[in-house]
Chains A and B, each alone.
Chain A
Amino acid sequence: MSDTATTHGPAAAVRAEGVWKVFNEGLPNEVTALQDIHLSVDTGEFISLIGPSGCGKSTLLRVIADLTDATRGEMTVAGVTPHEAREEQLYGMAFQHAALFEWRTVRRNVELPLELQGWDKAKRKTRAMELLEMVQLADFAEHRPWELSGGMQQRVAIARSLAVDPPLLLMDEPFGALDEMTRERMQNELLRIRQETGKSIVFVTHSIPEAVYLSDRVVVMSPRPGRITDIVTIPLGPDRDEDTREADAFYESVTAVREALRGHVGGAGLRAKVGEV
């Protein structure tokens, strides 16, 4: 199957065409964080952005989230501009820090996006409990954030990001601060949630195994200027579990990504041409 498949079916979850992000344009300290980004994320697809520091992966995520503007180029999120997507809450976001509000209970933290959308009390509570069930923290609904471990707090953050049931999830290294075991457990959680909800996910990470384990495709980026150098398709199929981590295909994919990061081009059938979607 051609890896250069462009969007088909309903509007792509994310579509970037010729997106540039330049800081301090025209000034001596000008920095090109993103150079001519072309990327399309299918609905229901899980893609990871991976690369060394300064490659622009977080910046790209923020352009998608309308937390920063693209200097040039066109970005559509769920068919509309990023700004509109943010206004209509078409995406949920999770960060490296769970950023829960210490003064709210776990449940009220999850309710936060719903509050901002003006939901009434009872509906908020029901929905929040649903979400906490999904991340298996319903028992901790009335607890305070400091009573939860790091992994649990991230699960709450993920539940929160799902509150308004957005079609798209943007995640910026959400498991980066966790230990390896917790991390793997969280990865399983995330896959399960994705199975149950069918959402599109754009996931920024530093970890190659994590990117491979979670994604349909891994977008490899490199810095100075920030750009996409490679997109690696992961042939592991939708049903993944602990055994997958020990499968040959997994190791091969990991190797492919690693080599892409190092800048090698090669290995048949596994990678798309540079820059092509």
Chain B
Amino acid sequence: MRNIARSRWTRVASLAAVGVLALSACSSSDSGSEDTAAEDTATEETVAEDTAEDTATEETEAEEAASGDEECTELTPASLQLQWFVQAQFAGYYAAKDLGFYEDACIDVEILEGGVDIVPQTVLAQGGSDFALAWVPKALASREQGAGITDIAQVFQRSGTLQVAWADSGIESPADFKGKKIGNWGFGNEYEIFAALGEEGLDPASDVELVQQQFDMVALLNREIDAAEAMTYNEYAMLLEAVNPDTGELYQPEDFNVISYSDYGVGMLQDAIWADEARLADADYADLAQRFVTASFEGWIYCRDNPEECADILTANGSQLGASHQLWMMNEVNKLIWPSPNGIGIMDPAEWEQTVAISLNSPNLEGATVITTPPSDTAYTNQFAEAANAALQADGVDTTGEGFTPITVELREGGA
């Protein structure tokens, strides 16, 4: 039985500590939409409209059998803490909720939106939610500081971080960063850059001018910086949604040089589902985790096969992003998940090693690395993901997405 020894006093003291700083992780949440600055960062519950679509119902029934659950008399409540506001980056979970996959798994899921000052893995570790989404490096750092969390499903299989420069800038690889103004979001999202610089033998302190960007692409568009950090699924689209004053048309991919950190072997693992490690010893929680993971995977699979509908689901759930931007995001996120050669959510050991190595060895400007000691073996587990894959495959569901082809998305100005 887990003993959660959290007295009120501890909670107050710890909340005071966290609250005073009042600024922490965004992780991939930095790639928030332009409207985020204006939005409240309250952990409001997104009210899901239980729209049971016709097409979904059939699949739901199939999945219900696949997840192999018994008669459901009362739904188990469960909460999921997101890293940012509702957007296609979290499509699978919203789809699973709206399409009834969670319900069929006998779970009543409450999705908690993130925000600028919300650290999802800390919320999880403090017992504020049952599960959380977080990028692996930041979660490992929290883990090293005592947060008892475990990666139970590595949903995003590859890094979506880019460094984008103008096509005429001559910057085509990290080696070209030398002597340039390299933008990044700060807030702990710059380690891939440091790793890339390290690989090229460049000293971040003297060979490069690092500049923190705001959560827009203005600094690059105004050529105040030479290369901007961007996520494939978000900030990059912001560029392509902006009008080129010279042509009167939207910017085209040819106008930019896109450097993907994955291509240079310095990508770090990103969105994953994290659970409370100590609590996993509790059979009920472990069972809940299993059901949650399986149903979430169903949601992601649905979104792989029906990206437009999932984009609509996000909008229906209150996402502020424009329609074309949302669809772009959905499509790009799919590319980060699919194909999952070992099956969705199953950790690729090589990627894990790479992420851990960079976390241990690439110092930032202050000389600090993400973690100082290697994470223990319980940092992640494939137990739940493997069981989920097995159950779904038994029902004939494609869990690897081998034949996955992305759609073409046409962006409109401002992402409308």
The short answer to whether A and B are in direct contact, CB under 8 Å, is no
**Which residues of B are in contact with A by a Cβ distance under 8 Å?**
none
**Which residues of A are in contact with B by a Cβ distance under 8 Å?**
none
